[in-house]
Chain A
Amino acid sequence: MTFWDWKFTFEILPLLASAALVTLEATLIGFVIAAVLGLAFAIGRMFGPTWLAIPLAGLIEFIRSTPLLIQIFFIYFVFPEFGVTIEAMTAGVLALGLHYATYCSEVYRAGLANVPRGQWEASIALNMTGFHTFRDVIIPQAIPPVVPALGNYLVALFKDTPLLSAIAVLELMQTAKIIGSDNFRYTEPITLVGVIFLLFSLVAAALVRMVEAWVRRRVLHA
């Protein structure tokens, strides 16, 4: 038995490739949830009425201070006790999105706080509604500076997707584990998963840098 079997490697590659799609799907949907919900969290916490801001701050701190794995288990195994049964992939993506939404909300908070007060005052002087002020003035200025930080969380979220294997979502890690136990060979599948993650991370980092540059050019005019 050789240490590395190339024939086996090529046999399992298609399986891992389709599992990679599941990982990508979880990453993208999870991050969309994180990015949108995170902004809502940040705005609610900073500008919402007290009855919303305080519980929201508590919820954010709670989610940030407990492990993602426990949250995944909680949504998948405990929610059904309350009559909410969620399919594994959905539960996993929800947990990922919710967990990272709390991190993103802190990033947005910094971005929102950095918009100069004069921008709010100009919006009031122009008689704009709160909604239009946020949509057209504040948010477009708050987000571009925090794109790099959001990009980091995209990569971090991506690297946390193997946790979904704990609730048997057929993403990369789970697929590799199954291949390993079926064939009694773990070297190739686990190594391949590592390589695939590395490649995707590098591509994602490059994409984030491109988006950053684009934002600086098109939105900030700097």
Chain B
Amino acid sequence: MVRFDGVTKSYGSLVVLDKLDLDIARGEKVAIIGPSGSGKTTVLRMLMTLERINGGVIFVDGEPLTSMERGGKLVPADARHLRRMRGKIGMVFQHFNLFPHMSALRNCMEAPCTVLGLSRAEAETRGRELLSMVGLGDKLDHYPSQLSGGQQQRVAIARALAMRPKVMLFDEVTSALDPELVGEVLSVIRKLGAEFDLTMLMVTHQMGFAKEFADRVCFFHGGRICEEGPPEKIFGAPENERTRQFLRAVLEAT
């Protein structure tokens, strides 16, 4: 479903991602862990086209994401291609990034109306359904400032789902939350995993959640995947010394 093929990203002389190869199957749930500055978030941001890539190709659904084929050669994608490809991907951010001037329901209706061309009634039905799915059926008319962090993040999840993406990206979605609000967001993600046919890619510091939820865990270090495998292996019997160090440090902190 998503394939990184020798993808490189650097800011000046600082190499953030170094020839990354990563293949994610349809419906697979991949957790990305690693120390800060290891390029984890950059992986998601490039996939959402928020960050330009400096080398290599990202394929989504078999098609190159930021380039397209023209006359047998790969050329930079035009706006139409980019918008078509973005339509397959949804993203939830660390700081929610809800639209503060719109109610929870309007947040979920805006893009379906303007981008997918849904009628207001259709978009509203979809928005209501998704908001009750994330447990906010009674907060439709609340504005983000009137909601707790956990509630805002659940609205953000509903908003992303309203676009019917095939791939969902979660960028440290619980990092900005008070500890007692983390659970409600994780349980919504768990529910998505069970009820939707979604490929999920999440950058997380919740090791317990990664262990229980992910099909595969990738440990990033210094812009490359240091070690990857099923959670039992990464958390149970990591082979790489860096992975062990990282997990030890994380465990000590909690």
Interface size class of B (residues with CB under 8 A): 20 to 34
* Complex Cα gap A188–B97 (Å): 59
* A46-99 interface with B by 8 A CB criterion: none
Interface assignment of A1: CB less than 8 Å from any CB of chain B: no
The 0/1 profile, CB within 8 Å of A marked 1, for residues 35-51 of chain B is 00000000000001110
The 0/1 profile, CB within 8 Å of B marked 1, for residues 108-144 of chain A is 0000000010110110111111001000110011000
Output the least CB separation between A93 and chain B (Å).
32
Chain A binding surface SS class: helix
Output the least CB separation between B143 and chain A (Å).
4
Output the least CB separation between B22 and chain A (Å).
20
Write out the residue numbers on chain B whose beta carbons fall within 8 Å of the beta carbon of A122: 93, 97-99
* Cβ-closest chain B residue relative to A127: B86
* B88-116 interface with A by 8 A CB criterion: 89-91, 93, 95-101, 110-111, 114-115
Most-contacted residue by chain B among A116, A127, A222 (CB, 10 A): A127
Interface assignment of B163: CB less than 8 Å from any CB of chain A: yes
Interface assignment of B148: CB less than 8 Å from any CB of chain A: no
**CB contact between A121 and one of B97, B110, B159, B160 (< 8 Å): that residue:** B97
**CB contact between A118 and one of B49, B95, B160 (< 8 Å): that residue:** B95
The 0/1 profile, CB within 8 Å of A marked 1, for residues 46-90 of chain B is 001110000000000000000000000000000000010011011
* B123-172 interface with A by 8 A CB criterion: 143, 145-146, 159-160, 163
Given contacts A118-B95, A221-B100, A221-B146, contact A125 B110 (CB under 8 A): no
* Cβ-closest chain B residue relative to A131: B114
CB <8 Å contact, B101 and A140: yes
* Complex Cα gap A118–B171 (Å): 13
Q: Point out residues on B near A: beta carbons under 8 Å.
A: 48-50, 83, 86-87, 89-91, 93, 95-101, 110-111, 114-115, 143, 145-146, 159-160, 163
Q: Point out residues on A near B: beta carbons under 8 Å.
A: 116, 118-119, 121-122, 124-129, 132, 136-137, 140-141, 219-222
A-B contact pairs, 15 of them (CB 8 A): A118-B97, A121-B48, A124-B86, A125-B90, A126-B110, A126-B159, A126-B160, A127-B111, A127-B163, A128-B110, A128-B111, A128-B114, A132-B115, A136-B114, A141-B99
